[in-house]
């Protein structure tokens, strides 16, 4: 019969084993795993490649229209199924990395994106467009919240406090990838016209490399035991910091709405009102809007969030005004349109970083992916609903009327939300 002392020692051994396992998980480098720093940049690169892949077709829709005689409503439906895939994936699995691990969710997401890239590399027929875009949406929805939470975990400071490096890198990986995809696709389609699907071959290779790098990344956050029972993402604000979350989600929806216009409708404006069907120009327009947004986040990384918002909101309104002016001039002005895209990039980049930072820093670590999933559900609804509505409206009214109505709605929304957005930051230390 074992003595009480033996039982105590046995319990100590069990506890020590548990603590050792936790140390391996949180310490960062199990055997065969990369360091936390290497894992951080691997995840950031993976997210950038996946978001670049998601917007690459934006510069090529004009080519698809001509080659396959697709109507604008058909292209709108293709865009809609992509957006539906994102939102569905965010609702069903976007939060599960809190329970099963970041790598466990990110690797299947990258595999799904790789499958979509292989489909596009072999065919861009209408059925391939539908299947590939649905798979791309599912991959992006599963990866967006997971990768953002993963970066926050890998770069966390003492006691798991989110760092500014994680916040900046997360926003740049998201927005920067969105910027590069259309430009790269447009350049390759123009200068290698004999193989317009080359961009998808390149992206498939990059996604395969990203998959290998992510496979080696460490899992640094202990998982809950027992795991919660499965449920879809709840579309409800967290109990804590409801005002801050509400303000962040408002800005999030409006920013993604503006992103959606450039990703989904820029080529329609260029080929229609301006009679310029160049895929490079279509990609450049999206690149300017998203790229300036990413650059703004890098340049202003040391700015307090209130200052960033105070600059970003009026610049966004100015940019919308310049874009509307470009469309309504006779003849329409490409120069004004590109200037407006740059101004909009400054405004949206500022608001997006501020809103995402609020969510990252106020969400509890164990619910961070769930909070980010809600953030991106709202964002991608903003990305998709206005574009789908505009695509349908194009059957009945001109693009410049749609653009004017959209700009007015976004401007009114920003003006109503701006006091709430600014007030939500009053108590923050980095004001």
Give the whole-angstrom CA distance, residue 272 versus residue 259: 20
List Cα–Cα distances, 386 to 126, 254, 261, in angstroms.
23, 10, 8
Count other Cβ atoms within 10 Å, centred on residue 272. 17
For the chain, the domain total comes to: 1
For residue 231, being part of any structural domain is answered with no
Question: 111-118 — which CB contacts under 8 Å span 24+ positions?
Answer: 111/211, 112/138, 112/139, 112/142, 113/50, 113/53, 113/139, 113/140, 113/143, 113/207, 114/204, 114/207, 114/208, 114/211, 116/53, 117/53, 117/200, 117/203, 117/204, 117/207, 118/200, 118/204
For residue 17, being part of any structural domain is answered with no
Cβ–Cβ under 8 Å, residues 114 and 140:
no
Token pair listed for 416: 């109503």
For residue 228, being part of any structural domain is answered with no
**Mean pLDDT, range 297-318, rounded to an integer:** 87
Q: Which residues contact 205 (CB under 8 A, 6 or more apart)?
A: none
Q: Could you check whether the bond before residue 226 is cis, i.e. omega within 30 degrees of 0?
A: yes
**Mean pLDDT, range 172-178, rounded to an integer:** 84
pLDDT of amino acid 264: 67
pLDDT of amino acid 87: 87
| Residue 403 clears pLDDT 50, i.e. is over it | yes
Cβ–Cβ under 8 Å, residues 335 and 280:
no
Place 40 in a pLDDT band, splitting at 50, 70 and 90. very high
Place 280 in a pLDDT band, splitting at 50, 70 and 90. confident
* 111-115, 236-240, 275-279, 401-405: range with highest mean pLDDT: 111-115
For residue 230, being part of any structural domain is answered with no
Place 232 in a pLDDT band, splitting at 50, 70 and 90. confident
Give the whole-angstrom CA distance, residue 263 versus residue 182: 8
CA dihedral 117, 121, 126, 129 (to 10 degrees): 10
Count other Cβ atoms within 10 Å, centred on residue 140. 30
Give the whole-angstrom CA distance, residue 152 versus residue 146: 10
**Mean pLDDT, range 391-406, rounded to an integer:** 83
Cβ–Cβ under 8 Å, residues 392 and 71:
no
For residue 113, being part of any structural domain is answered with yes
| Residue 205 clears pLDDT 50, i.e. is over it | yes
Place 155 in a pLDDT band, splitting at 50, 70 and 90. confident
pLDDT of amino acid 134: 94
Give the domain range for residue 241: 33-217+237-423
CA dihedral 204, 207, 212, 218 (to 10 degrees): -170
pLDDT in tens, 336-388: 989 999 999 999 888 888 888 888 777 777 777 778 888 888 888 888 788 77
Q: What CATH code is carried by the domain that includes residue 298?
A: 1.20.1250.20
For residue 9, being part of any structural domain is answered with no
Token look-up 């997210």 returns 47
pLDDT in tens, 245-262: 777 888 889 888 888 777
The pTM assigned to this predicted structure is 0.79
Place 24 in a pLDDT band, splitting at 50, 70 and 90. very low
pLDDT of amino acid 236: 64
Give me the DSSP letters along 121-182: HH--SHHHHHHHHHHHHHHHHHHHHHHHHHHHHHT--GGGPPPHHHHHHHHHHHHHHHHHHH
- Angle, helices 61-68 vs 72-93, to 10°: value is 130
Token pair listed for 257: 């709405």
For residue 24, being part of any structural domain is answered with no
Specify the DSSP class assigned to residue 331.
S
Average pLDDT, the chain: 81
pLDDT of amino acid 13: 39
pLDDT of amino acid 2: 42
Place 18 in a pLDDT band, splitting at 50, 70 and 90. very low
| Residue 320 clears pLDDT 60, i.e. is over it | yes
Give the whole-angstrom CA distance, residue 282 versus residue 183: 8
pLDDT of amino acid 158: 67
For residue 15, being part of any structural domain is answered with no
pLDDT in tens, 43-94: 999 999 999 999 888 778 778 877 777 777 787 788 788 888 998 998 898 8
What's the first-to-final CA gap in the chain, in angstroms?
Answer: 64
Cβ–Cβ under 8 Å, residues 320 and 413:
no
Which helix (H) or strand (E) element contains residue 110? helix 102-122
Give me the DSSP letters along 172-219: HHHHHHHHHHHHHHHHHHHH-TT-TTHHHHHHHHHHHHHHHHHHTSPP
Half-sphere exposure of 254 (CA within 13 A, CB side): 30
């Amino acid at each position: 019969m074992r003595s009480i002392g033996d039982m105590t020692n046995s319990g100590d051994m069990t506890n020590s084993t548990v603590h050792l396992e936790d140390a391996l998980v949180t310490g960062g480098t199990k055997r065969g795993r990369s360091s936390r720093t290497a894992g951080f940049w691997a995840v950031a690169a993976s997210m950038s490649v996946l978001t670049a892949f998601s917007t690459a077709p934006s510069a090529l829709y004009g080519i698809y229209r001509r080659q396959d005689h697709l109507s604008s409503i058909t292209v709108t439906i293709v865009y809609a199924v992509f957006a539906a895939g994102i939102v569905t994936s965010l609702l069903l699995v976007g939060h599960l990395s809190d329970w099963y691990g970041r790598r466990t969710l990110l690797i299947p997401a990258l595999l799904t994106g790789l499958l979509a890239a292989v489909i596009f590399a072999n065919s861009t027929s209408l059925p391939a467009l539908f299947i590939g875009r649905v798979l791309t949406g599912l991959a992006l929805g599963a990866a967006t919240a997971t990768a953002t939470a993963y970066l926050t975990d890998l770069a966390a400071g003492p006691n798991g406090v989110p760092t500014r490096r994680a916040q900046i890198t997360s926003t740049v990986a998201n927005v920067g990838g969105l910027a590069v995809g259309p430009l790269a696709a447009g350049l390759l389609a123009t200068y290698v016209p004999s193989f317009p699907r080359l961009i998808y071959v390149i992206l498939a290779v990059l996604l395969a490399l990203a998959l290998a790098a992510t496979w080696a990344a460490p899992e640094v956050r202990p998982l809950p035991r027992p795991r919660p029972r499965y449920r879809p993402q709840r579309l409800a604000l967290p109990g804590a910091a409801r005002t801050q979350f509400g303000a962040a989600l408002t800005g999030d929806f409006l920013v993604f709405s503006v992103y959606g216009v450039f990703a989904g409708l820029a080529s329609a404006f260029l080929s229609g009102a301006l009679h310029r069907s160049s895929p490079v120009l279509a990609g450049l327009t999206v690149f300017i809007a998203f790229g300036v947004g990413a650059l703004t986040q890098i340049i202003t990384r040391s700015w307090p969030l209130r200052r960033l918002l105070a600059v970003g909101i009026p610049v966004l309104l100015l940019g919308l005004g310049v874009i509307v002016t470009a469309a309504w001039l006779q003849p329409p002005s490409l120069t004004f349109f590109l200037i407006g895209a740059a101004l909009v990039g400054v405004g949206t980049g500022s608001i997006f970083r501020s809103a995402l930072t609020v969510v990252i820093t106020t969400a509890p670590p164990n619910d961070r992916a769930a909070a980010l999933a809600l953030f991106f559900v709202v964002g991608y609804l903003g990305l998709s609903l206005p574009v789908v509505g505009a695509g349908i409206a194009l059957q009945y009214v001109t693009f410049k009327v749609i653009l004017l109505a959209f700009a007015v709605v976004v401007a009114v929304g920003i003006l109503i939300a701006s006091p709430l957005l600014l007030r939500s930051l009053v108590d923050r230390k980095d004001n």
